[in-house]
Structure 1
Amino acid sequence: MIYYIADCHFFHGALNEKMDKRGFGSPEEMNEYMIKKWNDKVTGQDTVVVIGDLSLGKAPETAELLKRLKGKIGLIVGNHDKYLKAADFDASRFEWIDNYREITDSQRQVVLCHYPIPFYNGQYRLRHNKDPKTYMLYGHVHETRDEVLLQKFIQQIRETNYTPIHSEHESKIPCNMINCFCKRSDYEPLSLSEWIRLDNLDSK
């Protein structure tokens, strides 16, 4: 199984009182809670794709954190993943590290980037039943005003008409972007199908 999660910000205690207002009593409490949520879900055979900003910890403590997390881990680099540049950081725990990646997950294309891309590769590809073939998964914006603005823009895209090349009938522009911010899932890595269901529930 492939799971996805973004913006864990391990060791970032300020997020308990500022911006996210996560509410944990300490960075240590936050870390332990997120580790438990991860390990209760993920097995050694699973892959977790972190869509940026895994940790604000220093290289040694981030390396120790990675040893405690189950599963194979792929990393989409976020703006706060500074530990990667440290000379003493061992990156071998990651299966791969990339700034941008496209993968196939259960016959669906997934576009992965820490930063949201409103016009992503494969956006217009639909199945015969009009279900999307491609999803864009992102992080970075947490639940800030940027995410609020992005959701307004996504809605505007979805309400915009266009005429497909091989059709005479107008359709609405598809836009299937999901913010995989960890707090949305109570810090649990989710599969693509689980993120789709959560996103649909949240949009109602």
Structure 2
Amino acid sequence: MIYYIADCHFYHAALNTKMDHRGFADVEEMNEYMIKKWNDKVTNQDTVIILGDLSLGKVEETNELIHRLKGKLCLIKGNHDKFVDSPDFDSGRFEWIDNYREITDSQKKIVCCHYPIPFYEGQYRKRHNGDPKVYMMYGHVHETRDEILMQRIINLIRETPYTPIGSEHESTIPCNMINCFCKRSDYTPLTLGEWIRL
């Protein structure tokens, strides 16, 4: 299975108490809860694509963390993933680390980036039955005003009419973007299908 999750922010106490208001007693309780939710779902045969901002811990703390998490880890770098640049970082724990990547999952193309891209490669592609061929998975905006604005942009795109090339019938622009913010899934990595349903 391939799972996705964004913005865990392990070791980031301020997100618990301020920005996200996660409600844990302290950062240790938050870390342990997220590790348990992750490991209860993921097996070592599964792949987890982390869409940025995994850890704000020191490199030693982050190295310990990544060895406690199950699965084959893949990282889309976020703005807080400073540990990646440390010479002491155990990058060998990851299948790959990138700023942006396109993969195939469940016969769909998945555009992976920490930052939301409202006009992503392949967004107009649909199957004959109208199902999307491409999804854009992102993080970064949590549940802030930026995500509220992003949803307004998504709705505006979806309401915009256009006539596809080679067609006489007007349609609306597809926009299949999913914010994989960890708090939305109770800190559990989810499959593409699970994120779509959520």
Q: Displacement of 1:15 after TM fit?
A: 1.1
SS in structure 2 at match of 1:146: helix
Residue number in structure 1 paired with 2:161: 161
Q: Displacement of 1:145 after TM fit?
A: 0.1
The answer to whether the aligner puts 1:146 opposite 2:146 as a matched pair is: yes
Q: Displacement of 1:91 after TM fit?
A: 0.7
Structure 1, 138-147 or 10-19: larger mean CA deviation:
10-19
Residue number in structure 2 paired with 1:136: 136
What pairs up with 1:79-94 in 2 under 5 angstroms?
A: 79-94=79-94
**Cα separation, 1, equivalents of 2:106 and 2:169:** 30
**Cα separation, 2, equivalents of 1:172 and 1:131:** 13
What is the percentage of aligned positions where both structures have the same residue?
A: 76
**Cα separation, 1, equivalents of 2:110 and 2:35:** 25
Letter paired with 1:140: H
SS in structure 2 at match of 1:17: helix
> CA-to-partner distance for each residue in 1:131-189, whole Å, 9 max, x for gaps?
00000000000000000001001000000000100101110000000000000000000
The answer to whether the aligner puts 1:40 opposite 2:40 as a matched pair is: yes
> CA-to-partner distance for each residue in 1:64-89, whole Å, 9 max, x for gaps?
00000001000000000001111211
Letter paired with 2:98: D
What pairs up with 1:43-58 in 2 under 5 angstroms?
A: 43-58=43-58
What pairs up with 1:50-89 in 2 under 5 angstroms?
A: 50-89=50-89
TM-score, structure 1 normalization: 0.96
TM-score, structure 2 normalization: 0.99
Where structure 2 has 5 or more consecutive residues not aligned to the other structure, the ranges are none
Aligned residues: 198
> CA-to-partner distance for each residue in 1:11-68, whole Å, 9 max, x for gaps?
0011111110001011100000000000000001000000000000011110000000
Residue number in structure 2 paired with 1:202: none
Residue number in structure 1 paired with 2:28: 28
Residue number in structure 2 paired with 1:109: 109
Residue number in structure 2 paired with 1:100: 100
Letter paired with 1:161: P
**Cα separation, 2, equivalents of 1:127 and 1:88:** 46
**Cα separation, 2, equivalents of 1:88 and 1:136:** 32
SS in structure 1 at match of 2:124: coil
Residue number in structure 2 paired with 1:126: 126
The answer to whether the aligner puts 1:19 opposite 2:15 as a matched pair is: no
Where structure 1 has 5 or more consecutive residues not aligned to the other structure, the ranges are 199-204
> CA-to-partner distance for each residue in 1:79-128, whole Å, 9 max, x for gaps?
00001111211210011000000000010110000000000001000001
**Cα separation, 2, equivalents of 1:59 and 1:167:** 54
SS in structure 2 at match of 1:140: coil
**Cα separation, 1, equivalents of 2:42 and 2:58:** 24
Runs of 4+ in 1 over 3 A off after TM superposition: none
**Cα separation, 1, equivalents of 2:5 and 2:187:** 8
Letter paired with 2:191: S
**Cα separation, 1, equivalents of 2:121 and 2:30:** 36
Letter paired with 2:174: P
